[in-house]
Amino acid sequence: MKIKVLVAAHKPYEMPNDNQVYIPIFVESKLHSQIPENYVSDGTGDNISLKNPHFNELTALYWGWKNLDCDALGLVHYRRYLTENHIPRRNLNEILTAQQIENLFQNNDIIVPKKRHYYVESNYEHYIHVHYPEPLKQARRIISQEYPAYLSAFDLVMHRKSAHMFNMFIMKRKPLNAYCTWLFDILFKLEGCIDITGYDKYETRVFGFVSEVLLDVWLEKTKYVYVEEKVLYLEGQNYLKKGFEMLQRKFNPIHD
């Protein structure tokens, strides 16, 4: 099975040794004169590299979808990977191997990270406490008009208190083609109906943020069989701080 997993990065960083499976990809490369050695560029072939400031790691996904010939394609981040290990060390030797991925695909179509649980708020509440609500509202409108069969799944996911985050997954080619066709059609339409000129630099990454919640909408509707694996962080996580910040956002939303 020919498996490729893109490792999205915007700077030089330690990368996996298995370069047959894991491909470092430099995002936003069309806005840079040079890319690090041994990285591929998201600005070659059929690409949307120039959209990276607003689409985040999705420019890597689009590039892989359009330009790589493989049986399965995945997307991870330079400091976040998927692992089977119960308590993974912060070590690249802990990430999913080609054999582990192939074994998981014997009974599954898709590999995703374990869900992030919010407990005190729904996915919709979490989104609007952190980001401007208008893009998410417009995404729902587009789905209602262009993909009405997905609308009930959208509303269901928005009411849940957990989600598969980070735009990380590994998919067999058939579901990948279906997902990317659906996702990018919605996001490109969303580009044309929201005005982000007044957003700060962080908030202009809006299409990447919206796509994180759309993955579960698509999974809920299509019913492809997926398996969850743990997320390995190469850098430390302050969970107490994250929890405190989430409560702050809930009671003091940054956007009205």
The residues that bridge with 163 in the sheet, in sequence order, are 116
Q: How far apart are CA 172 and CA 157, in angstroms?
A: 23
Percent of the chain with pLDDT over 90: 87
Query: What mean pLDDT value characterizes the chain?
Result: 93
- The pLDDT tens digits of the residues spanning 68-84 come to 999 999 999 999 999 99
Scanning 68-122, the segments in alpha helix (DSSP H) are 98-104
Question: Are the beta carbons of 91 and 97 closer than 8 angstroms?
Answer: no
Q: Using alpha carbons, list the distances in angstroms from residue 190 to 171, 207, 209.
A: 24, 8, 12
The answer on pLDDT for 242 being more than 60 is: no
- The pLDDT tens digits of the residues spanning 193-241 come to 999 999 999 999 999 999 999 999 999 999 999 999 999 999 975 545 5
215's CB contacts (< 8 A; 6+ apart) are 112, 163, 164, 167, 169, 179, 183
Q: How far apart are CA 169 and CA 210, in angstroms?
A: 16
Q: What is the pTM of this model?
A: 0.93
3-state secondary structure at position 233? strand
- The pLDDT tens digits of the residues spanning 34-53 come to 899 999 999 999 999 999 99
The answer on pLDDT for 254 being more than 70 is: no
Q: How far apart are CA 172 and CA 216, in angstroms?
A: 17
Residue type for position 205? R
